[in-house]
Amino acid sequence: MSPPYRVMGVVNVTPDSFSDGGAFLDAGAAVAHALGLVAQGADILDVGGESTRPGAEPVLAEEELRRVLPVLDGIAAAGEVQAVQLSIDTSKADVARAAIAAGASIVNDVTALRGDPGMVELVAESEVECCLMHMLGEPRTMQRAGRAGGPRYKDVVDEVKAFLEQRLEFAVRAGVGEERVMLDPGIGFGKTVAHNLELLDRLDELTVLGRPLVVGTSRKSFLGRILADAAGEDEPVATERRLPGTIATNVLALERGARVFRVHDVAPVRAALAVAAATLGGRWTARGTTTQTS
């Protein structure tokens, strides 16, 4: 029996991503990294050529294509990844179009189809899956959105839920099959530590939307701050020390109904999810509406 979740491995082909920026900017290195993630058990490879970290500057479509197309071609040419889905992490229709032609079957759009007016038509016509994410503002400003002190919400879960419901309805009206949509609450995108924790704690409230929930907590700064506080350290712990927090949040998210987990460290997270799923047994659907991931 297949597990009720999928693990999405991160392949950043960028110079400025918060965790591994520059490490896989070379196409050959990125392809080798992707194949390593497949060997670790990745179900999906999410390839991105533009950083969406807080404060990140946008890049032109031409540059984004220059970064990702050789990597997508290299991954697709590897026979051992035939069963793995390719995802393109972009908000630009031109980039998504070229990526789909190169073999991508998922468009992971952090703007939830708001960044490029041509994206929803492309997704509908191509009949690929898409992931719609909540973000307050844009990467350059998301952690400053709202009043002084950072992002503000009356109720972060209610507001994220309403946003995702509206974007799902928009996509379906535009011709995107509802069964091809995944929803991401956008952990770390325009949220404080408290907001992120509230979303994780009440993630089950988003399962009523009826679509697979994607969670991306991997190595994020809020984990670094929590772990630093626990250790009595003044500065957030480095990204390479955030794996325990990544594992903990993904296991909690599974129990609360998440079904797709976007991570840098595939093998340890997949092992933790396997143990959690076995422990929960049939109860892993108690807070969710389905065990399906697509």
- The mean pLDDT of 212-238, rounded to a whole number, is 96
1 occurs within a structural domain: no
Alpha-carbon gap, residue 287 to 206, rounded angstroms: 10
288 occurs within a structural domain: no
Catalytic pick among 191, 220, 242, 256: 220
- Residue-wise burial string across 153-192, b where 16 or more C-beta atoms lie within 10 A, e elsewhere: beebbeebbebbbebbeebeeeebeeebbbbbbbbbbbbb
pLDDT digits (tens, 9 = 90+) for 115-127: 999 999 999 999 9
159 occurs within a structural domain: yes
290 occurs within a structural domain: no
Stated pTM of the model: 0.89
Question: Is a pLDDT exceeding 60 seen at residue 142?
Answer: no
Strand partners, 215: 261
105 occurs within a structural domain: yes
Catalytic pick among 97, 161, 262, 270: 262
Q: Which domain holds residue 46?
A: 6-283
Confidence category of residue 78, pLDDT binned at 50, 70, 90 = confident
Question: Is a pLDDT exceeding 60 seen at residue 22?
Answer: no
35 occurs within a structural domain: yes
State the total domains in the chain. 1
10 occurs within a structural domain: yes
209 occurs within a structural domain: yes
CATH of the domain at 74: 3.20.20.20
pLDDT digits (tens, 9 = 90+) for 186-198: 999 999 999 999 9
Does 161 qualify as catalytic in the annotation? no
- The mean pLDDT of 241-249, rounded to a whole number, is 97
pLDDT, greater one: 77 or 94 = 94
Confidence category of residue 294, pLDDT binned at 50, 70, 90 = very low
